[in-house]
Amino acid sequence: MTTAAIIVAAGRGLRAGGGTPKQWRPLAGRRVADWTIDQFQGQVDQIVLVLSEDDRDAWAEFENSDLILAKGGSDRAGSVRNGLDALLPYGVHRVLIHDVARPCVDLQTIQQVLEALEIHPAAAPGLTVTDALWTGNSSIVTGTQDRAGLFAAQTPQGFHYDAIVSAHAAHTGGAADDVEVARAAGLDVAIVPGNADNIKITRPEDFARAERILGTDMDVRLGNGYDVHRFGDGDHVILCGVKVPHDRGLQGHSDADVGMHAVTDAIYGALAQGDIGQHFPPSDPQWKGAASEIFLRHAVELAGQMGYKISNVDCTLVCEYPKIGPHAPAMRNEMARIMDLSADQVSIKATTSERLGFTGRSEGIASLATACLVKS
């Protein structure tokens, strides 16, 4: 089942101040739009970014990305329709529609909407109204409003794709959001729990609140990995993806890349997802002699699926020989390539054990690694 997200980012949003549309203003070291887009990466199959024709820099920046770009309409509903049209070639079954000005949306809210779409044609997050409600003019309370059964609407609002396309085609305009469009077409909309931190940036002071939320909602995980392989016959070793000439080889069920194995286990450890042996059992003959890049790529992909980005990895190789220093830059580059990181996020270093123990007797090589993962 193919799922897409439409991020509506064509508005001018100047009420938030700054003289620049709020989606392009800085927030906690990045732009508002960057935070919002990242929350949907890895959660859906396609992302449509709806942009104003006036945002030429954004068009130039994103046209070579994985995002699908669509032009903004004359109003929000028009922008959503353009986003829906952009998805026509992709065979989408479910679509989430989200305001770019909600950069603090959490992954649990996104998943709850998607789960509700398994049994409902539409679903959206809402917060139960708990405050007393007044009616009034600019300075005087004129009455009260019963808050029973009232919810504050949030996004992403999710729909079966064909149903919301038909609903928008039939709507006469003037809807507050896509839930109103869906209900006008007779669709039942399930309410899932909203999150008080999923604020919509509207006023200048909302930036400070969003920064506090993004700063305190950080989920950082550390994982450790350790591996050992003994020497055997051979004329080279594979270490961190690089072939290093040596008068002996390393023995193992796969290619015995002790450094890459330690880094892979460190990532699995940070995710609390076991180790290489659980995902690629040595009893399975298909992994005999396999390139360790297969294992590392799987760990990296699993991290992405679970909503984490790798911040950095640090790997130490423990051996008397071969000498690692001359090959360390190539190892860093190769590991960075496999993990889709920059070389400055990868540390490869070596030490000896002062001729103590099995590594000191040149019976094998050991490796220790640490990986840092951050919730994206």
The answer on pLDDT for 19 being more than 70 is no
Do residues 82 and 95 make contact, with C-beta atoms less than 8 angstroms apart? no
Looking at the DSSP assignment, which residues form a beta bridge with residue 79?
none
In this prediction, residue 15 carries a pLDDT of: 59
Give the CATH fold of the 220-375 domain: 60s Ribosomal Protein L30; Chain: A; (3.30.1330)
Instruction: Give exposure, 132-146, as e/b (b: 16+ Cβ within 10 Å).
Output: eeeeeeeeeeeeeee
Give the pLDDT confidence of 52-105 residue by residue, as tens digits. Answer: 999 999 999 999 899 999 999 999 999 999 999 999 999 999 999 999 999 999
Fold of 3-216: Spore Coat Polysaccharide Biosynthesis Protein SpsA; Chain A (3.90.550)
pTM of the predicted protein model:
0.60
Please compute the mean of the pLDDT values over residues 110-115 and round it to a whole number: 97
CA 209 to chain centre: 22
**SS3 letters for 83-99?**
HHHHCHHHCCCEEEEEE
Spell out the domain ranges in the chain. 3-216, 220-375
